[in-house]
Chains A and B, each alone.
Chain A
Amino acid sequence: MAVLFPLVRERGHDADLYLNRQLRPLTQIWESDLDVLFDPQDFGVASTYTDPLGATHSITVIFDEASLDVQIGNSSFESVGPTALAKSADVPTVNNKATLLINSVTYHVVEVSPSATGVTMLKLSKDAV
């Protein structure tokens, strides 16, 4: 035990150093990369965000229209599940009274999923809730 204990301590110390070195730069890199990700030259799409109080804001989102199956009984109904990723700072008060105008189509926000990464996922629909 006398021999093993210093080894364990040493390994634990090394692990702390490793995590501190890895996590801090990773967080910083993620925050600075948000602007790159949302750049219209990359994945960003220009949109008009109308907040729940009716004020409009020009923001950039990452828009997706993935195929979606809705199961009803034994049958499957094909649809599309539009979503938008927005910087959380751009949509601080978003709820299901907000809308997004993307590519000349007005989408109603039907679900809001914030995350700790500074990005909020918005589930969209052409129909209001």
Chain B
Amino acid sequence: MSVRADDILTAIQLRFKTISVSTGYHTTFGQNVFICRPGKIELQDHPALNIWDAPETAKIGDMTDGPASIDRWRMPVQVDILFAGTSSQVRAAIADIYKSIGTDHTWGELAEATYLFKHSLTVDQAENKISGATVMFYVDYRNARFQES
């Protein structure tokens, strides 16, 4: 039996993998999409999106009076965007992520809804210009009480 939070993260990864100019987006940042990839992301793997269910998922309610007993959860999701190039491409990637979320913010009815929260840009310069961003949003979902599934 799968775990709901894991199913949602996998759905997010699959959706983001469709981000490509050929599918109507600004960028092709969908070519390297990871979930909680630790360690260094190498230059040949850029542009890259790294998805984290961080920092913590919180219970936001429950319902026990109806026919089903459920827990409601709010999972923060952080997407790190890594790119060896200019910041304008990263801004376009942020727009692509929001557009991608908007195509179905229930992630195939795995979740109740997705709420956009914030994003922040980082620019550095090493051998090449390096631009990145973190995008944060919340995914609300429910499951049978005391069962993360």
Contact = CB atoms under 8 A, between A and B. Distances in A.
Contacts of A65: 127
A78 B40 contact: yes
Contacts of A68: 126-127
Contacts, number: 74
A9 B8 CA distance: 77
> A-side binding surface: helix, strand, loop or mixed?
strand
Contacts of B40: 69, 76-78
* Interface range for B: 20 to 34
Nearest to A127: B129
B125 A72 contact: no
B50 A70 contact: no
A68 B50 CA distance: 19
Interface of B: 37, 39-43, 46, 48, 50, 52, 54, 78, 80-82, 84, 122, 124-130, 132-134
Interface of A: 65, 68-70, 72-82, 110, 125-127, 129
